[in-house]
Amino acid sequence: MTEPWMIAGAWLAAGLTIFLFSFLYRDNPFFKIAEHLYLGAGMGWWFQVYMFNIWKPKVWEPLMAHQWGVIIPAVLGLSLVTQFIPKISWLSRYGFTFLMGYGAGLAVPAGLSTDFMNQIAGTIRPFSALASMTPFAIFNSLLIALGVVCVLFYFFFSVEHKGSVKKVSNVGIYFLMVYFGAAFGNTVMARFSLLYGRFDDLASFSSRGSFYATQIILAVMVLYFLVTGFTKKPQQGEEEAH
Amino acid sequence: MIKKSSLCLILCLASAGALHAAGKSAKAAQAAVPAINGFSASDMPYDAGGAALLRWPVNAADTETTVYTVYASSSDGAGWVRIDEFPSSANTGKGIDLPFWAWDGSAAEHAYKAELGNFFPGAAEGTVLRFKVASSDKGRVTAESLPAEAAVSGNWFRLDRLNNLLLLVLVMVVFFWAVSHAKRKGLFIRRIAGLDAIDEAIGRATEMGKPIYYVPGIGSMSSISTIASAFILGEVSKKVAQYDSFIKIPHYDPIVMTVAKEVVKQSYMEAGRPDSYREDLNFFVSQDQFSYAASVDGMIAREKPAACFFMGYFMAESLLLAEVGATSGAIQIAGTDVEHQLPFFFTACDYTLIGEELYAAGAYLSKEPMLMSALKVQDFGKLVVMVSVLLGIVLLALGTKLHWDSFTQVILNLFKAY
Amino acid sequence: MKFIKKHIPLLIVLVVGVLTLASYYVPNKYSVDYLELMNKWENIVSAFAFLLGLISLFYSHYNKIKRKTDGWGYSLFVYVGFLAMVVPALMNGGRQMVDGQVTSLGWSFRYIYNALSATMFAVLAFYIVSTAYRSFRIKSAQAFVLFVAAFILILGKVPLGQIIWDSVLGWTHTGIDQVIEWIMSVPAVAGKRGIMIGIAIGAVVTSLKIIFGIERQYMGRD
Amino acid sequence: MKEKLEKFFKIDRRWIFLLLAVVLFVPILKPLGLPNKTISRDTQNAFNYLDKLPAGSFVLFSLDYDPSTRPELQPQAIAAIRHAFKKNLRVAVVTYIAGSTGLIQQIFEKLPAEYGKVNGTDYAIFPYMANATAVMTQMASDFYGIYDKDQDGRDAKSLPVMKGVKTYKDMAMVVNITGTSMLDFWVAYVGDKYKVPVVGGVTAISQPGYGPYLQTGQLKGLIGGMKGAAEYESLVKEPGKGTSGIDALNLAHLLVLGLILTSNIILLVIRYL
């Protein structure tokens, strides 16, 4: 790809980015176009990845080499698509059950070992090394154990929660709240990082090398909103409607 | 490329020749060095094949610089291949990572698991191989064992995973017990706080003459949260019908919508108000996450409903929905099992069903045997964890305090996943 | 017919499920051979599952165009976007780079898909600030605890926050990064582990239901 | 007073949007110069684990993120791969998210040349595969059963970088950088089941959720979000997008805290005054 193509790319990317952001001000046709392009482009990308990474090398080429074994999974796979044809949609069950049986069979023992046994072991193991632990570490290990039990109790539905039982489950809620708080704080950071990523790209498209793509497109969008803002009165409540 | 690979081949051949020579010289030297007595080789138990277990006693005379070298050869008398080399302090009987019910190793012996896949790639199931081990000190061979033979093969059972299997059997037993009981006489589930608010919310909507929004999220009918949500919807719409209020259910997934239509219709029938039921209570919005959220947001902002329910599977749109509901002054009741979306619901909504509470709410309201029994098994699992954690801590702390090392090992092994 | 429509699929899920489950406990050669065959087949079958999403997207937008529903014109852009990826891919055989040069496929990825996909999610950053302002209510002791944990994390993850913490609470000789470390490795672990164990058992039960044909919603209606 | 406050509280949220845009965009044009200083324990552990591997060890990178989480995860991946190249480890890249194939290409466009690494000899990139759990399970018995060719269609088995590698037993560790729940799969279906050390890199959103796996040692280390990327970059001494990103986030983070506090104080005042 040559230099003019790269500049065109910068304009295109800056344009699409700003179109999507323009939704924050108000819904508009540019946003809608970009949004629909996104749906199609995502599918298109996936389609070509599947085509060149799996369908061609794993199905087509073996068939051409007369390795007939791949017919079975290919037919099972194609059976999934019959879902859209009501009359023979039951065929898709063959594919689905094949996928689900395998997935479920793998998940059961792995779930028991990873999320059940290992978690119990992780909670109690620190207590086998009590002698070498600082008081603070012992306190932390106890706190984890206590927290786990209380949280589990909060989610225990077989007894009525009242009296001292309720107190235990209340303690559990506070552990959950700390976890949710941590999740909230981290989510803020994650979302800002993504926005930073876009702004960083926009900043690079605003350079002279890209012929000020960002600035010009931004100016055009502002102009568009000014013009449409004057020509048609926004409906009541529309500003809330994003 | 071709050149490179042929070069590799030559190098390989050369080194094989060298090894062969080394084997011969080792044989010559054998007479001179003392023997390692009690060396034995066997198939590595509980594995998929391709590994052997070698055992020999620890030599008290070994120093820090003593190194053991393990050799193997195919039984047809080909040369010895060097498998591994390790210091004398390594690979004792304690080092084999197997639980107490499958392995009894002591620190007084060496136990080495020889992985042979890369050395004898062509070896078939049950191939007999010969092994020997030699100790050396600073490059000088100090002792060598007599060769021992073992057939290497795959085994039929992972005895080390017995604890996992027993747990699985236990879960299955409890599950089938719960299923049969739930069908026959129902099982007890405690009251769930957030559910009391449903009446309050619907009552308020009736007073104000404003609609109620029930948002079932973006999950498909296969996710547990959506299933639970459908049951809660049944209960909510029944009350709505009784109070003669008005409910709106925007949808993301067409299949969920067809299910929800059935559910709501049924509820209106049960409430004795089939005349009030309309097909357009459930309506399809969009199958794109953000368009869905934006459209629902728009509706909530315009109509200012008295109450909003967000029950089911939610991703990033939780943020958008809960915010607009909160600013429009609606009573909001939310529930989802997507943990990282819960903080947004929790801060912006009046009541939030956290994780499993959503499932429990579905089971509590519907008394559906399948939901009930799953919940019971989950409760049983939690009980197992609570008891084992509490007991485990006490026993481990006690065991450590009193230096019952094998006792603490037993407890740790029980919960270890192999 | 019921046998072909219903019983064979249920038999497939049972046999495949039980054998796969057993392979965890049975290490020998037959078990490995079975798993290898399944792995290769599952890989191919799953690749076709992608078509489901593709067809339903195309179908729903085709319908919009056909019925000329509101805003049907936008639906055309779904196909434009699709072709913008697939045509370059066909031209270049799915390669994004040839001899150190970006191909038209690589170009499409960089300037169309990348820009669109990344921006869709970046928009959320704006909503999170407005949520913080308009609906983050510290209305109970629980919400207060949530707020404190969130506050510490938001503050402590950036250097400026660390400077502020040190100037206000420097006398405690505890850095905010240590506090975060503690939150993440003690109370948050307890909270998450509690949630996780219940969910894990739930997933195990659901999987068992699928294997034994008790749960069959995914199979669609009869 | 009360009415004024109420009006201020009900401000059009687009003003808040604008405020954020300014607070985040300005530091990109004019960096504050406040780089990340602290290193979290989990990132340090991840770094140490990779660092102590002997040269020539084989490391499997599973890069499973698409452009939607790229700003957080691409810097992590680049820093970790730089580290591996610096330590002369053998690198193989696999992926189970179709959107990431393009991003992987971008990483390996320039990076290997900086360290004089050659495709096929020092590293290999494998094509996208569907059904991650099936492929993960397959790699436990025969890597080439599923990856018979690399991304360029070369026979995988004969690549010099793959010499002596057939199953997980021959791999020193797995590094999974992902914006999905793929890391859970790596832990449950590979790490625990086949005893392979797994190190993760995840978005900040999912980071707190991996605390239990870190405590038990099911995960050997974790790089979390852009902060984690910045930390890893400073550990390998190659500042990149993570480092500059953290600098830009400074003000925005304070803005959020300010907004939460302001609105809650306003509400208190409205209610009690």
User: Out of B326, B356, B377, whose CB is closest to C205?
Assistant: B377
For chain B, the first-to-last Cα distance in angstroms comes to 42
Residue B99 has pLDDT above 60, yes or no: yes
| Rounded-to-integer distance, Cα D204 and Cα C158, Å | 13
Which chain B residues have a beta carbon less than 8 Å from that of C56?
Answer: 287
Fold annotation for B190-366: Rossmann fold (3.40.50)
Largest CA distance in chain B: 104
The residue type found at B181 is H
SS (H, E, C) chain C: CHHHHHHHHHHHHHHHHHHHHHHCCCCCHHHHHHHHHHHHHHHHHHHHHHHHHHHHHHHHHHHHHHHCCCCHHHHHHHHHHHHHHHHHHHHHCCCCEECCEECHHHHHHHHHHHHHHHHHHHCHHHHHHHHHHHCCCCCCHHHHHHHHHHHHHHHHCCHHHHHHHHHHHHHHCCCHHHHHHHHHHCHHHHHHHHHHHHHHHHHHHHHHHHHCCCCCHHHCCC
For chain C, the first-to-last Cα distance in angstroms comes to 12
Residue in D closest to C29 by C-alpha: D141
pLDDT-derived band at D52, boundaries 50, 70, 90: very high
Which chain B residues have a beta carbon less than 8 Å from that of C141?
Answer: none
Strand B35-36 vs strand B127-137: parallel, antiparallel, or unpaired?
unpaired
* Tens-digit pLDDT profile for residues C7-56: 999 999 999 999 999 999 999 899 999 999 999 999 999 999 989 889 98
Largest CA distance in chain A: 78
Total number of residues shown for chain D: 273
H or E stretch covering A21: helix A3-21
Distance from CA of B394 to the nearest CA of A (A): 9
Beta-carbon-side half-sphere exposure of residue D162 (alpha carbons within 13 Å): 22
Q: Is B3 on the interface with D (CB under 8 A)?
A: no
The residue type found at C217 is Q
Asked if residues D102 and C109 have their Cβ atoms less than 8 Å apart, the reply is yes
Residue B409 has pLDDT above 80, yes or no: yes
Which chain B residues have a beta carbon less than 8 Å from that of A34?
Answer: none
pLDDT-derived band at C145, boundaries 50, 70, 90: very high
Q: Which of D137, C204, C120 is nearest to A113 (CA)?
A: C204
SS (H, E, C) chain B: CHHHHHHHHHHHHHHHHHHHHHHHHHHHHHCCCCEECCCEEEECCCCCCCEEEEEEECCCCCCCCEEEEEEEEECCCCCCEEEEEEECCCCEHHHCCCCCCCCCCCCCEEEEEEECCCCCCCCCCCEEEEEEEEEEECCEEEEEECCEEEEECCCCCCHHHHHHHHHHHHHHHHHHHHHHHHHHHCCCCCCCHHHHHHHHHHHHHHHHCCCEEEEEECCCCCCHHHHHHHHHHHHHHHHHHHHCCCEEEEECCHHHHHHHHHHHHHHHHHCCCHHHCCHHHEEECCCCHHHHHHHHHHHHHHHCCCEEEEEEECCCHHHHHHHHHHHCCCEEEEEECCHHHHHHHHHHCCEEEECHHHHHHHHHHHCCHHHHHHHHHHHHHHHHHHHHHHHHHHHHHHHHHCCCHHHHHHHHHHHCCC
* Tens-digit pLDDT profile for residues D261-271: 999 999 888 88
Asked if residues C38 and C16 have their Cβ atoms less than 8 Å apart, the reply is yes
H or E stretch covering A187: helix A164-205
- In the predicted model, what is the mean pLDDT of chain B? 86
Tell me, what's the pLDDT at A236?
Answer: 41
Beta-carbon-side half-sphere exposure of residue D37 (alpha carbons within 13 Å): 13
* Tens-digit pLDDT profile for residues A132-153: 899 999 999 999 999 999 999 9
User: Out of A117, A180, A238, whose CB is closest to B163?
Assistant: A117
Q: Do the Cβ atoms of C217 and B221 come within 8 Å?
A: yes
Residue with tokens 């209380």: A150
Average pLDDT estimate for A174-193: 95
Tell me, what's the pLDDT at D34?
Answer: 87
Tell me, what's the pLDDT at B188?
Answer: 86
- In the predicted model, what is the mean pLDDT of chain A? 91
Residue A120 has pLDDT above 90, yes or no: yes
Which chain D residues have a beta carbon less than 8 Å from that of C180?
Answer: 40
Tell me, what's the pLDDT at B48?
Answer: 87
Q: Do the Cβ atoms of B340 and D205 come within 8 Å?
A: yes
Tokens encoding B102: 């499958």
Asked if residues A76 and A94 have their Cβ atoms less than 8 Å apart, the reply is yes
Residue B274 has pLDDT above 80, yes or no: yes
User: Out of A119, A130, A153, whose CB is closest to B397?
Assistant: A130
Q: What are phi and psi of B54, to 5 degrees?
A: -110, 135
pLDDT-derived band at B9, boundaries 50, 70, 90: very low
Residue in A closest to B339 by C-alpha: A180
Q: Residues of chain B with pLDDT > 90: what percent? A: 49
Residue with tokens 């002279």: A208
Chains contacting chain B through 3 or more C-beta pairs under 8 A: A, C, D
Residues of D with CB under 8 A from a CB of B: 10, 141, 158, 160, 164, 166-167, 169-170, 192, 195, 205-206, 209
Q: Indicate the SS3 state at residue A85.
A: coil
Q: Residues of chain C with pLDDT > 70: what percent? A: 99
| Rounded-to-integer distance, Cα A148 and Cα D93, Å | 37
Strand B307-313 vs strand B212-217: parallel, antiparallel, or unpaired?
parallel
CA-based radius of gyration for chain B:
34
Residue A233 has pLDDT above 90, yes or no: no
* Tens-digit pLDDT profile for residues A91-100: 999 999 999 9
Distance from CA of B287 to the nearest CA of A (A): 11
Average pLDDT estimate for D147-171: 94
Asked if residues D75 and D83 have their Cβ atoms less than 8 Å apart, the reply is no
User: Out of A13, A49, A83, whose CB is closest to C111?
Assistant: A13
Residue A24 per-residue DSSP state: G
Average pLDDT estimate for D126-147: 95
| Rounded-to-integer distance, Cα A181 and Cα A159, Å | 28
Q: Do the Cβ atoms of D166 and B340 come within 8 Å?
A: no
Please give the residue that has the higher pLDDT: either D122 or B329: D122
Distance from CA of B221 to the nearest CA of A (A): 15
| Rounded-to-integer distance, Cα D166 and Cα D61, Å | 15
Tell me, what's the pLDDT at C221?
Answer: 62
Beta-carbon-side half-sphere exposure of residue A142 (alpha carbons within 13 Å): 10
| Rounded-to-integer distance, Cα B205 and Cα A114, Å | 46
Q: Do the Cβ atoms of C161 and D253 come within 8 Å?
A: yes
pLDDT-derived band at B385, boundaries 50, 70, 90: very high
Which chain A residues have a beta carbon less than 8 Å from that of D244?
Answer: 200
| Rounded-to-integer distance, Cα B364 and Cα B366, Å | 6
H-type helices in A22-60, by residue range? Answer: 29-50
pLDDT-derived band at A232, boundaries 50, 70, 90: low
Give me the residues of D, 110-169, that contact A with CB < 8 A.
127-131, 133-134, 137, 149, 153
Weakest-pLDDT range from A178-192, B118-132, B251-265, C131-145? B118-132
Beta-ladder partners of D178:
D64, D202
Could you tell me how far CA C14 lies from the centroid of its own chain?
A: 27
| Domain segments of chain B as ranges | 34-157, 160-184+381-415, 190-366
* Tens-digit pLDDT profile for residues B156-186: 999 999 999 999 999 999 998 988 887 777 7
Beta-ladder partners of B311:
B335
Residue in C closest to D194 by C-alpha: C24
* Tens-digit pLDDT profile for residues B25-47: 444 444 568 888 899 999 999 98
Residue B374 has pLDDT above 70, yes or no: yes
Size of interface C-D (CB pairs under 8 A): 169
Select, from the ranges A86-90, B197-201, B336-340, C34-38, the one with the highest average predicted confidence (pLDDT).
C34-38
Tell me, what's the pLDDT at B138?
Answer: 87
Residue B252 has pLDDT above 70, yes or no: yes
| Rounded-to-integer distance, Cα A90 and Cα C4, Å | 9
Which chain B residues have a beta carbon less than 8 Å from that of C131?
Answer: 319, 322-323, 344, 347-348
> Candidates 2.40.160.50, 3.30.200.20, 2.60.40.10, 1.10.10.60; correct CATH number of B34-157?
2.60.40.10
User: Out of B301, B390, B417, whose CB is closest to A113?
Assistant: B417
Mutation choice for B interface testing from C75, C201, C215 by most B CBs within 10 A: C201
Tell me, what's the pLDDT at A152?
Answer: 94
Residue B358 CB neighbours (<10 A): 25
Tell me, what's the pLDDT at B15?
Answer: 45
Tell me, what's the pLDDT at B345?
Answer: 93
SS (H, E, C) chain D: CHHHHHHHHCCCHHHHHHHHHHHHHHHHHCCCCCCCCCCCHHHHHHHHHHHCCCCCCEEEEEEECCHHHHHHHHHHHHHHHHHHHHCCCEEEEEECCCCHHHHHHHHHHHHHHHCCCCECCCEEEEEECCCHHHHHHHHCCCHHHCCCECCCCCECCCCHHHCCCCCHHHCCEEEEEECCCHHHHHHHHHHHHHCCCEEEEECCCCHHHHHHHHHHCCCCEEEEHHHHHHHHHHHCCCCCHHHHHHHHHHHHHHHHHHHHHHHHHHHHHHHHC
Q: Residues of chain A with pLDDT > 90: what percent? A: 77
Residue D245 has pLDDT above 90, yes or no: yes
